[in-house]
């Protein structure tokens, strides 16, 4: 054929020796003598050394056509020159653009620095607030402009009116586009408008309280930037011209060298090239078939002959005479292009590609290539199945265990496997596991927890049913005993499976379910449940590889379910502990109408808590706190702090003193925790708000340690967040605690809360406070309604932090229920005050309490005058109980003791303790108050015999 005949002529008629050497010398590469650096060197030197004119004339004849535009060397030269021209033009353009960008950026930076320096100057704010700001600002602004190199500096008031400007004619006019600076934001921009286009910076001027009192604008005109850029353009253009000239010259030299090196190929080079091509053509593992325009075979390599089983005389025969089959013959004879068409040829599957030769410079014909894809197809099918299984396992790792909910995890397992692996998947879990308990050792029944289906109307038991394991030889029981998956490829022949539930098995078979894989759901060596994979009509039976995939799926789900079970148990324990530490019922009191809410976080129990503590004198203490962290430790710590607050409040301390004692306790606990090995995280950072409300006068005293201030809603529905002094969180130490006072009208609502109510991942504290303000702004809302509204409005479905909320509506103790007397510092005044108290008790209808009250008053008042200091006062408070208070200016606290039989006194406080329900002492800013509380409604008197025995002397 044609290819072999050329190869034969090349082999039988070698070129002359002299011509071969001449062409070898003209080659740039490939000649051994040229690489070794022998004396004849290049073709030109070799030709000149021989001095043979006939040998030089062919070179001279080829040199002239090489200068034509059609030659490859000239085309390469022109292409390189064009590329260099484009690169130089692009570089010049980039330099111009970069220069303009750098100019604008430097102008913005200079303008911003100048504006900020002038705005923050000590006298700028004062000058803006003076009666004549223009006269005070014009001179300094001009000096600052000259020193900074900007084109203009304007000083504006907060409405944007120019008070000072480089152009005096603009003073009094309004500047455009400065609203952002008026709101407190400094900015730079390229301004287009009146009086001129400029790059400017506008900076707000603020006073000592951070309020905007004016603005400073500084900038450089765009015309100035253009002038600077025009000065740089000639330099850029000159550099570009020089670069282009150098690049063109270099390209010309390279092109000249290339023209010398590409005169043409000699016979030896052609022979070598053909030998290489021929070797490659017959050595490749891809069949190649070249067909002429007349449909005859021109060339077939060895692989094509093997794949197509061509006869030895296939050359020059028509394609239709080779017996290749109808499909392949049609493709080869059509002359149309084809890409990877799989055609069966004998027992092989060949991927066929055809392309016409004419568009690629050859004569009219066709080139066809063939690849054997028989084994590849089989491997591809196996790889596809394996890839599908790996993809299933990957998706299972992503989709299973997204929550710490056991039922949801079981549903995710079933949803992942259907329909890609099975038609039906059922998941059963032990009841103890669903309750969060440790799995029991005996597995006799499970609860169906999840069911996923690809078809409806199936006979499988629904979710919620109990699945009992009665028969001992079923696949499920075998899987539980063996601890691994059990495969039943054909349920028609599985008698042991039918023995468990014959009627249910018959319904399943009639429905079309025919194959089963049952896998025990195990974690840490303990059975948690069972997973069953079913295939129905239209699906292939399960194989061993499917059982391995099922085991992997179930193993991943088992870890997630066990984690969810353990989390559920710990969460339930922590919630139970925390709820047991929080107040279950609010105590009875008359000062406040109180409602509360507590909601633990979805992800874990926190340390938020609240409390309502009645104090003497009908006062009430309100407490809200937050412990850092979550979990059991936070709940236990919350209980310790709540107990400490209850104990400290029994001492009737002021809010700031109580928080001081609590801070010392937290610091002491942290010190002990640091010394202990493996101790939990420190408590430093816990917050607390402690408030005492006195219904006599409606005064509320508050102190807070790092906690949010409460919201106060007055009777008209107006909401405020009072400025109460804030101290560092508990445990920080080194800072005194301060307190603030509020005067609350009757019917006001006090809203105390933790940060979990207003702060969330999707909003910050300011946004939460704004929403809270809007939610509680109702004049007639009760505390219960306020709590319900806040919980519905503020909280998402699954809060990320726990929430404690306490809403209290104030009440006042009316003047008719309060009686007070200033007592002179004279013991003879005791009888007079006692008589006045008796008359007031008769007015209140408390004749039955007169005797005990007068006795208590006599003892307390006599002690205050004898052992205290002036001033002395008496106050009676009537509510659900009767409170008698005696105050004096001394800080000495009386104490109850048992007097000896020889003592003449010391029994007064004993009598007070017998007649009063409760009594005690609290300290005020100046002096102390001794109080005694009596129950109303005919309380039982103390034992007379005991009193006489105690008082006998």
- Alpha helices by DSSP H, 262-313: 267-283, 302-308
Q: Hey, is 929 helix, strand or coil?
A: strand
Rounded to whole angstroms, the Cα distance separating 872 from 861 reads 8
Whether pLDDT at 688 is above 70: yes
**Do residues 176 and 162 touch, judged by C-beta distance below 8 A?**
no
| Band (812; pLDDT cuts 50, 70, 90) | very high
**Do residues 577 and 631 touch, judged by C-beta distance below 8 A?**
no
Whether pLDDT at 945 is above 60: no
**Do residues 519 and 479 touch, judged by C-beta distance below 8 A?**
yes
| Band (733; pLDDT cuts 50, 70, 90) | confident
Cα angle: 892, vertex 613, 711; to 5 degrees? 115
| Whole-number pLDDT of residue 17 | 39
Q: Hey, is 70 helix, strand or coil?
A: coil
Whether pLDDT at 525 is above 50: yes
Weakest mean pLDDT among 58-62, 700-704, 712-716, 773-777: 58-62
Q: Hey, is 5 helix, strand or coil?
A: helix
Going by C-beta distance under 8 Å and a sequence separation of 6 or more, which residues neighbour residue 229?
A: 96, 99, 100, 103
**pLDDT tens digits, one per residue of 610-628:** 999 999 989 999 999 998 7
Weakest mean pLDDT among 135-139, 454-458, 567-571, 838-842: 567-571
Cα separations (Å) of 170 from 119, 163, 165, 178, 195? 19, 9, 7, 16, 9
- Give the rounded distance of the alpha carbon of 151 from its chain centre: 47
Rounded to whole angstroms, the Cα distance separating 278 from 856 reads 128
- Give the rounded distance of the alpha carbon of 411 from its chain centre: 26
Cα–Cα nearest to 731, from 689, 671, 690, 650: 671
Higher pLDDT, 584 or 408: 408
Task: Name the one residue in this structure whose structure tokens are 């984690």.
Answer: 563
Going by C-beta distance under 8 Å and a sequence separation of 6 or more, which residues neighbour residue 43?
A: 22, 23, 24, 25, 26, 27, 59, 263
Rounded to whole angstroms, the Cα distance separating 467 from 447 reads 6
Rounded to whole angstroms, the Cα distance separating 720 from 182 reads 27
Work out whether the CA dihedral 744, 749, 755, 759 comes out positive or negative.
negative
- Alpha helices by DSSP H, 120-182: 122-129, 133-148, 179-182
Structure tokens at 113: 């620095």
Whether pLDDT at 900 is above 60: no
**Do residues 24 and 17 touch, judged by C-beta distance below 8 A?**
no
Which range among 238-242, 495-499, 838-842 has the greatest average pLDDT? 838-842
| Whole-number pLDDT of residue 711 | 96
Rounded to whole angstroms, the Cα distance separating 786 from 805 reads 10
- Alpha helices by DSSP H, 67-132: 72-119, 122-129
Structure tokens at 411: 């549903």
- Can you tell me the mean pLDDT for 112-139? 84
Task: Name the one residue in this structure whose structure tokens are 């007097």.
Answer: 899
* Cβ-based neighbour number of residue 583 at 10 Å: 17
| Whole-number pLDDT of residue 106 | 83
Cα angle: 114, vertex 119, 121; to 5 degrees? 95
Mean predicted lDDT score pLDDT of the chain: 79
- Can you tell me the mean pLDDT for 205-215? 85
Structure tokens at 129: 């607030």
Looking only at the bridges linking them, the beta strands covering 162-164 and 740-743 are unpaired
| Band (91; pLDDT cuts 50, 70, 90) | confident
| Band (147; pLDDT cuts 50, 70, 90) | confident
- Can you tell me the mean pLDDT for 589-615? 84
Q: What beta strand segments (E) does 493-575 contain?
A: 515-523, 526-535
| Band (260; pLDDT cuts 50, 70, 90) | low
Rounded to whole angstroms, the Cα distance separating 941 from 916 reads 9
- Give the rounded distance of the alpha carbon of 856 from its chain centre: 65
Q: Hey, is 905 helix, strand or coil?
A: coil
Rounded to whole angstroms, the Cα distance separating 424 from 418 reads 6
Rounded to whole angstroms, the Cα distance separating 570 from 266 reads 89
**pLDDT tens digits, one per residue of 446-485:** 899 999 988 888 888 899 888 887 666 788 888 888 888 8
Cα angle: 682, vertex 684, 686; to 5 degrees? 115
Whether pLDDT at 257 is above 70: no
| Whole-number pLDDT of residue 304 | 82
- Give the rounded distance of the alpha carbon of 161 from its chain centre: 45
| Band (904; pLDDT cuts 50, 70, 90) | very low
> Rounded to the nearest 5°, which phi and psi values hold at 627?
-100, 140
pTM beyond 0.75, yes or no? no
């Amino acid at each position: 054929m044609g290819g072999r005949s050329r190869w034969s002529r090349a082999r039988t008629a070698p070129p002359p020796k002299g011509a071969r050497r001449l062409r070898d010398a003209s080659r740039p590469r490939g000649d051994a003598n040229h690489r070794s650096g022998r004396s004849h060197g290049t073709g030109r030197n070799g030709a000149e050394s021989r001095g043979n004119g006939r040998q030089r004339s062919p070179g001279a004849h080829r040199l002239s056509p090489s200068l034509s535009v059609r030659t490859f060397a000239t085309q390469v030269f022109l292409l390189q020159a064009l590329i260099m021209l484009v690169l130089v033009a692009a570089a010049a353009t980039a330099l111009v653009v970069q220069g303009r960008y750098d100019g604008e950026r430097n102008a913005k930076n200079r303008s911003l620095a100048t504006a900020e320096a002038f705005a923050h100057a000590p006298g700028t704010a004062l000058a803006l607030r003076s009666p004549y700001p223009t006269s005070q600002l014009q001179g300094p602004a001009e000096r600052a402009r000259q020193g900074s190199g900007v084109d203009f500096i304007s000083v504006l008031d907060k409405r944007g009116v120019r008070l000072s400007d480089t152009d005096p004619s603009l003073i009094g006019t309004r500047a455009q586009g400065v609203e952002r600076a008026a709101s407190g934001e400094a900015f730079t921009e390229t301004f287009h408008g009146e009086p001129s286009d400029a790059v400017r910076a506008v900076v707000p001027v603020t006073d000592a309280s951070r309020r905007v009192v004016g603005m400073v604008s500084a900038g450089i005109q765009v015309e100035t930037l253009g002038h600077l850029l025009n000065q740089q353009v000639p330099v850029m253009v000159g550099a570009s011209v020089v670069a282009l000239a150098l690049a063109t010259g270099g390209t010309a030299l390279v092109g000249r060298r290339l023209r010398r090196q590409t005169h043409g190929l000699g016979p030896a080079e052609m022979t070598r090239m053909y030998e290489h091509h021929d070797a490659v053509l017959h050595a490749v593992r891809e069949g190649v078939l070249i067909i002429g325009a007349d449909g005859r075979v021109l060339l077939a390599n060895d692989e094509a002959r093997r794949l197509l089983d061509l006869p030895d005389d296939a050359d020059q025969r028509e394609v239709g005479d080779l017996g290749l089959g109808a499909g392949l013959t049609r493709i080869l004879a059509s002359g149309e292009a084809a890409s990877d068409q799989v055609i069966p040829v004998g027992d092989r599957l060949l991927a066929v590609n055809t392309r016409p030769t004419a568009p690629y410079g050859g004569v009219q014909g066709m080139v066809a290539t063939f690849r054997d894809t028989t084994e590849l197809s089989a491997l591809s099918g196996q790889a596809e199945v394996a890839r599908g299984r790996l993809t299933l396992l990957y998706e299972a790792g992503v989709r299973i265990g997204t929550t710490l909910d056991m039922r949801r995890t079981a549903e995710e397992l079933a949803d992942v496997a259907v329909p890609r692996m099975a038609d039906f998947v059922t998941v059963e879990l032990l009841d103890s596991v669903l309750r969060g308990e440790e799995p029991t050792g005996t597995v006799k029944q499970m609860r169906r927890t999840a069911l996923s289906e690809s078809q409806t109307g199936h006979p499988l038991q629904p979710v919620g049913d109990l699945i009992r394991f009665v028969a001992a030889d079923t696949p499920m029981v075998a899987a539980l005993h063996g601890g691994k998956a059990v495969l039943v490829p054909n349920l028609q022949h599985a008698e042991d499976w039918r023995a468990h539930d014959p009627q249910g098995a018959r319904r399943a078979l009639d429905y079309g379910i025919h194959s089963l894989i049952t896998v025990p759901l195990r974690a840490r060596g303990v059975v948690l449940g069972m997973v069953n994979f079913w295939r129905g009509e239209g699906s292939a039976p399960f194989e061993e590889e499917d059982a391995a995939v099922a085991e992997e799926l179930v193993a991943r789900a088992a870890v997630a379910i066990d984690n969810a079970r353990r989390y559920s148990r710990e969460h339930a324990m922590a919630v139970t502990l925390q709820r047991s530490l929080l107040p279950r019922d609010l105590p009875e009191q008359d000062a406040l109408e109180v409602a509360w809410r507590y909601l633990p976080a979805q992800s874990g129990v926190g340390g938020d808590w609240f409390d309502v503590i009645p104090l003497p004198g009908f006062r009430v203490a309100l407490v809200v706190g937050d412990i850092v962290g979550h979990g059991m430790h936070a709940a236990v710590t919350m209980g310790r702090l709540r107990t400490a607050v209850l104990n400290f409040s029994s001492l009737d301390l002021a809010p700031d003193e109580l928080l001081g004692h609590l801070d010392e306790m937290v610091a002491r606990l942290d010190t002990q925790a640091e010394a202990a090995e493996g101790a939990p995280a420190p408590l430093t950072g816990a917050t607390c708000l402690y408030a005492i409300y006195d219904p006599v006068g409606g005064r509320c005293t508050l102190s807070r340690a790092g906690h949010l201030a409460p919201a106060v809603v007055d009777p008209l529905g107006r909401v405020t967040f009072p400025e109460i002094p804030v101290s560092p969180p508990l445990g920080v130490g080194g800072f005194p605690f301060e307190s603030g006072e509020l005067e609350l009208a009757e019917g006001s609502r006090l809203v105390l809360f933790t940060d979990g109510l207003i702060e969330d991942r999707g909003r910050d504290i300011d946004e939460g406070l704004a929403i809270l303000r809007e939610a509680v702004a109702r004049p007639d809302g009760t505390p219960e309604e306020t709590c319900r509204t806040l919980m519905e409005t503020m909280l998402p479905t699954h809060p990320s932090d726990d929430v404690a909320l306490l809403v209290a509506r104030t009440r006042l103790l009316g003047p008719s229920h309060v009686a007070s007397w200033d007592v002179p510092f004279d013991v003879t005044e005791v009888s007079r005050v006692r008589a006045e108290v008796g008359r007031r008790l008769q007015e209140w209808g408390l004749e039955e309490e007169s005797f005990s009250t007068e006795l208590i008053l006599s003892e307390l008042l006599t002690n205050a005058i004898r052992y205290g200091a002036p001033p002395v006062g008496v106050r009676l408070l009537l509510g659900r109980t009767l409170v008698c208070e005696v105050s004096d200016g001394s800080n000495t606290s009386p104490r109850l003791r048992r007097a000896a039989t020889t003592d003449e006194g010391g029994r007064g406080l004993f009598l007070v303790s017998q007649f009063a329900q409760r009594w005690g002492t609290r300290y005020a800013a100046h002096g102390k108050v001794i109080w005694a509380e009596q129950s109303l409604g005919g309380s039982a008197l103390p034992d007379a015999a005991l009193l006489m025995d105690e008082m006998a002397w």
